Amino acid sequence: MANFLLIHGAMGGAWCWERVIPGLEAAGHDAVAIDLPGQGSDATPLSEITLYRYADAVCDALDVMDGPVLLTGHSMGGMVITQAGSQRPDKLAGLIYVAAFLPQPGQSLIEITHLPEAAGDSVQANLVVEGDPPVSTMPPEAAPEALYHCCTQEQIDWALPRRGSQPVIPFTNPFTPPEDLDAAAFHALPRAYVTCLQDRAIRPPVQELMFTRAGCDPVMEIDTDHSPWLSRPDELVAALDRVAGVLAAR
């Protein structure tokens, strides 16, 4: 049995994992999802939201969980779990990235999206950024093709009203390990990756670049879009269950 803490991506919330958690529990695992600051039901002021505020919220959740925990992030949530993992390596059994950004130290999400391997992603092409501090949204007519093109109409209709806006500042904050980092403990953490082969948001070439650089093992493949928690929840459960088994056997 594993303990999963599930972290959503941009414009999401804990709701993103609603179709995954029952399957993980049926497989014998414990699983919980949280809203990041300013997302879902969390009312953190927009001006206070950064990557580091996200990571602190995850650390707060980890601190009250029985460990060790498999910290799992989707999309932008990969940035969050990397930052939080560097702050609490002692609480973790491993890091799992689901079609997620996986930064090197000093690297921001925006920098990753400008790598040559990331060219042509449909999120950057459709984001609308407004306000001060800036907030990004994606028009509902663009989201199905960008994020949910392997989903049924029922799944799309369920997700679209739940999507929110996304502060831009966390996109610009680089992964910054803490000064008192236990480098040996952090680098020893197992890292696994679930890559989505039809992803239009984080293109497969840049996913491969990231999980190769980070030495992720195992790497699981799902032949779907950027949102396997919606389009292929049973396959995602099976992948996460297999990752938990592989890591537990080491």
Which residues are identified as catalytic?
Answer: 75
Q: Count CA atoms within 13 Å of residue 102 on its CB side.
A: 25
Amino acid identity of 22? P
Q: What is the DSSP letter of 197?
A: T
* Residue 230 CB contacts under 8 Å (≥ 6 apart), including other chains: 16, 19, 148, 151, 155, 158, 159
Name the pairing type of β-strands 135-137 and 128-130: antiparallel
Q: What is the CA radius of gyration of the chain?
A: 16
Neighbouring CB atoms inside 10 A of 41's CB total 8
φ, ψ at 155 (rounded to 5°) = -65, -40
Residues in the chain: 250
